[in-house]
Amino acid sequence: MLLWVAVDLLAIYFGLDVLINLLFLVIFLWVFRRSRSEPVPTVVPGGDPGIAVLVPAFDEAATVVESVRSLLALDYPRFEVIVINDGSRDSTLAKLRQAFELRTEATEYFDLLGTAPVRAVFRSASDRRLRVVDKPNSGKADSLNVGLALTAMPLVVTIDSDSLLASSALSRLAGLFRGRNAAAAGGLITAANGARVKDGQVTAAQLPRRALLMFQLIEYLVSYTVGRIALSAAGSLMVLSGAFTMFDRELLLACGGFLTRRNRHQYIRRISRGRPAGTVCEDMEVIVRLHRYLKENRLRRPIVFDPWPVAWTEVPARLGQLARQRNRWQRGLLESLFFHRAMWFEPGYGAAGLLGMAYQVVFVAFAPVMQLLGLGLLVWLAAAGEVSPWWLAGVLVAAVLAGGVITALVTTAVERRFARSSAVNVEAMRYRSFGDWLRLVGYSMASGPVYGPLRTAFQLWGIWDWARGQKSWYKFERGGFGSETS
């Protein structure tokens, strides 16, 4: 009796998961159908607010110069780039010195949040918009807090030092702050592996040859894009990528900046009850905390995802690198959710608490455990002769076909809408022919039985490490833009 109750509960869980993802797909298609070729104005009405692009860099010698060149080539009237060298052990700082003619600048640093000391600040002699900060290694979140304290620009963008932005990316996101009074906004992330880069700009991109990169490209396209558009439309988006997110600087400082154990901001101290706290995924935690701050202070400012501005970022090309990355993401998710557990299913936090946090807790954070339980139960039932092998085969085939159909719908919808608005996004989509599209769909059908179990295993490893208090960053080595074998 208890066995079949467990089967029924798991069936309800997975049924709800499927229904939620189908709902996400419907919302995604609805948003794209409603949108016009230019859903957000690239010219910001009322003047262009200044933007500071913050680039933490730790051992990023392979990509940092191309990334900075890309940033300096952005099409926006008033911005600065601040690279924070986080105690790199390689030639990151030396390469920046050589490429951009850095000169020491007499700048007094005022610590606003509680950060590691700043050793030196440099200004580029070849482009005055570039500053480079040198400091001891203290983590990405601490480096971002240093950048927040150094700039006076009203908007700040966080970006990884291995990322490249489309030239219009800043204008697109800045439009959301003027047009919708956004608190934070993020753009589309796609894999840079295999892309051709010249003078900091992606000049050509094609589908990766390696299966692991293809699986990740599909994951970014389907899971992240569709889910974030849907959750953004529902006002419950709890995750934006640290590889490309824009914030209102004043609001970000008001809620405490980025979470570190050094951070002494009064809001951080209040919600942590005076205990030092940190996370290995500062990009998720800060979005959850921003939702919390907005609701507690009754500020009606949305946190949105816009798929038109594009950032290319290098993704893991080796299985071990991917395993360590997904381990860290899962630990960071759990750290963020439990740090803000006061928001779980809490009506006072609106859609963020009732939908956003509920979805992250039930269908993301602990989904790997449910998948393991479900698989184990099915295997046990099959071994005990309680279910037919043909039934199990039918379930597997249905799951594989569902993945292929969803990817086919998503790629078709995105390609049609992007083709009308931005050649950059078509480039990010990678496919230019019916054969490329079939290859995407074919890999998506293989993603469930091949890539899905691997990802679940890495996430389970992350849950185990979180449970035993592991805090390692697990950084993977970059191969440089254009490489598929980092």
The pLDDT score that the predictor gives to residue 200 is 64
Residue 280 resides in a domain? yes
Mean pLDDT of the chain: 85
Q: Could you tell me if residue 316 is inside a domain?
A: yes
pLDDT confidence of residue 93: 95
Give the residue, 429 or 169, on which the prediction is more confident.
169
User: Is 107 or 3 the better-scoring residue by pLDDT?
Assistant: 107
CA nearest 279: which of 270, 293, 289? 289
User: Under a CB-based contact definition with an 8 Å cutoff, are residues 142 and 259 in contact?
Assistant: no
Q: What pLDDT is attached to residue 288?
A: 97
In a domain, 104, yes or no: no
Tens of pLDDT, residues 132-151: 999 999 999 999 999 999 99
7 in any annotated domain: yes
pLDDT category of residue 38 using cuts at 50, 70 and 90: very low
Is 313 domain-assigned? yes
37-42: average pLDDT: 49
Confidence of residue 270 (pLDDT cuts 50, 70, 90): very high
Task: Report yes or no on 124 lying in a domain.
Answer: no
The most confident of the ranges 43-47, 304-308, 340-344 is 340-344
Domain assignment of residue 345, yes or no: yes
Q: Domain limits at 308?
A: 1-34+162-471
Average pLDDT, stretch 245-268?
96
Number of folded domains that form the chain: 1
The pLDDT value given to residue 308: 79
Residue 42 has pLDDT above 60, yes or no: no
Q: Tens of pLDDT along 350-400? A: 999 999 999 999 999 999 998 888 878 877 877 777 777 787 777 777 777
Q: Which long-range contacts (CB under 8 A, 24 or more apart) does 374-377 make?
A: 374/10, 374/13, 374/14, 377/6, 377/7, 377/10
In a domain, 328, yes or no: yes
203-228 residue pLDDT tens? 766 778 899 998 998 888 777 788 89
CB 117 within 8 A of CB 135: yes
Is residue 241 a contact partner of residue 182, using CB atoms and an 8 Å limit?
A: no
User: Mean pLDDT lowest for which of 7-21, 30-44, 59-73?
Assistant: 30-44
